[in-house]
Amino acid sequence: MVVTTPKPWDEIRFALGDGKRWIVMGCADCAAVCQTGGSSQVDELAERMEDEGLEVLARVDLPSPCDRRLTRRDLKRVVRELEAADGVVCLTCGGGAQAVAELVGKPVVAGLDAHFVGTVERVGVFHEQCALCGACVLNATGGICPVTGCPKGLRNGPCEEANAGACEAEPGLECVWERIWERLETLGRIGAFGTVRPPAPPVRRPRSTGRRTR
Amino acid sequence: MSAASWVLVGRVGPEAVDRVCARLRELTPEVGVVLGDPADGVHALALAGRVLSETPDRPVVVPLVCRDRNRTALVAEARGAEALGCRGLWLLTGSPGPAEAAAVYELDPAVLAGVLGQAGVGLELWASGRLTTPAERARAGVLTGVGVSRWIVPAGGEPPEPIPGLSLVRQGPGGDLVPLEVSP
């Protein structure tokens, strides 16, 4: 799940510029779980904008804005409002905002900041547990990710500063590689600890598995 | 061991270079020098160059810190150490720097040792760390398997059990020049 936080109102207001008529779109998926882009947050932002003298032509909850097929279908419901609007405010992650931008052909204001892929402990408490590194080592580390669990992201640990299970880079944190050792020992797979894991492939942007058109 | 005895030099700020070099000149050439993680101090290769210019026969081991360097930079530093005439490389992960600087750890010592081998760097490889927990000892075994032959154990505590294939060197008390005691 993509974990997001709302942008400050001043930043959103600045991005709205001179536009008067807007559509506010939220995400019923990740942003709704984070309570940053669900229907309540869409309503709150719309009301704030109306208090500022702006006109909100439609409030839309998109099931998965990042799925262009679904978004293309759902935007047909507000095609007249889109024609009349100066732009769209998206309470979604950057993927969702860009998908909307490509489809509407109008200015899109991003209302959220996306931070990481996380798991949910409870509303408001999220844990980054996947770094999207493209070279997952969970099979060899007993299901514990060292890239997100280690402040240095080490794929071969522990580091030389580890102190009997305590992390030196993050005081109060248990060394993830000690946890990995204990987990592998419990699973009877301690032999996996001694493998040298190569670094993740370097990130070359833009990243896409899709076909390039030019 | 490749030297009669060793001393470890920690971080050296620009203001301390002359003092540290003066202390090193007092040592016989057979005493090897291990330069520690410079962090925000004087770059290790620069300090090594100064030491070797004053005592060309002195064995010098320089740190190769994975923090904030990609593999290109690490191989270049290793080749620089080789060109200077250094004896060895101390492979370190390194601690994160100031919060406003993005921490980069493309490689770690285990992978770095392999990268150096592929790059044809033929220096002696050192590493370090405590050897108290099974995970820490397993790490030492992994690094031994990729070519590390010398290991610096921090000061304090009981001497650790030996690791096959590793020559252990134990840090003494602190100071500018920290003696390194070769374990029997």
Calpha distance A56→A89 (Å, rounded):
10
Query: What's the pLDDT tens digit per position in A2-38?
Result: 999 999 999 999 999 999 999 999 999 999 999 999 9
pLDDT of residue A211 exceeding 70: no
Closest Cα partner for A32 from A99, A96, A103, A105?
A: A96
Query: Mind listing the pLDDT tens digit for each residue in A158-185?
Result: 999 988 899 989 989 999 999 999 999 9
Tokens 């996306």 label which residue? A114
Tens digit of pLDDT for each residue in A77-101? 999 999 999 999 999 999 999 999 9
What DSSP designation does A166 have?
Answer: B
pLDDT (tens place) for every residue of chain B, 184 residues total: 457 689 999 889 999 999 999 999 999 999 999 999 888 889 999 999 999 999 999 999 999 999 989 999 999 999 999 999 999 999 999 998 888 888 889 999 999 999 999 999 999 999 999 999 999 999 999 999 999 999 999 887 777 888 899 988 888 777 666 767 766 5
Closest CA to A67 of A38, A105, A87, A93: A93
Residue B175: what pLDDT? 62
What pLDDT score was predicted for residue B150?
A: 93
Please say whether the beta carbons of B33 and B7 come within 8 A.
Answer: yes
Residue B132 with chain A: CB contacts under 8 Å: 164
Beta bridge partners of B88: B61, B124
Nearest CB to B135 within list A151, A153, A181: A181
Residue A204 has pLDDT above 90, yes or no: no
What pLDDT is stored for residue A213 in this prediction? 64
CB-count burial class (<10 Å; 0-12, 13-18, 19+) for A55:
middle
pLDDT average, residue stretch A95-112: 96
Q: Which domains does chain B have, with CATH numbers?
A: 5-182 (3.20.20.220)
What's residue B183's pLDDT? 60
Chosen from B93, B106, B148 to mutate, greatest number of chain A CBs within 10 A: B93
Type of residue found at B49: G
Element (H, E) at B20: helix B17-25
| Pick from B108, B129, B141: CB nearest A194 | B141
Report the residue from B70, B93, B146 with minimal CB separation from A154: B93
pLDDT of residue A212: 65
| Rounded Cα–Cα distance for residues A13 and B90 (Å) | 53
- Taken in order of first residue, the domains within chain A and their CATH numbers are 2-116 (3.40.50.2300), 134-194 (no CATH)
Most confident of the ranges A54-58, A122-126, A199-203: A54-58
- Note the pLDDT of residue B170: 85
- % of residues, chain A, pLDDT over 70: 98
CA gap A100, A110 in Å, rounded: 10
Q: Which residue of B has its CA nearest to A155?
A: B108
Average pLDDT of the residues of chain A? 94
- Taking the CA atoms of chain A, what radius of gyration do you get in angstroms? 22
B114–A152 CB contact, under 8 Å: no
How many angstroms away from the CA of B54 is the closest CA of chain A? Answer: 31
- What's the pLDDT at B1? 47
Min Cα–Cα distance to chain A from B180, Å: 17
- Show the beta-strand stretches assigned E in chain B: 5-9, 31-35, 60-65, 88-92, 124-128, 148-153, 167-171, 177-182
**Chain A residue numbers touching B103 (CB-CB < 8 A):** 151-152
CB contact under 8 A, B92 and A151: no
Taking an 8 Å cut-off on Cβ atoms, the answer to whether B135 and A155 are in contact is: no
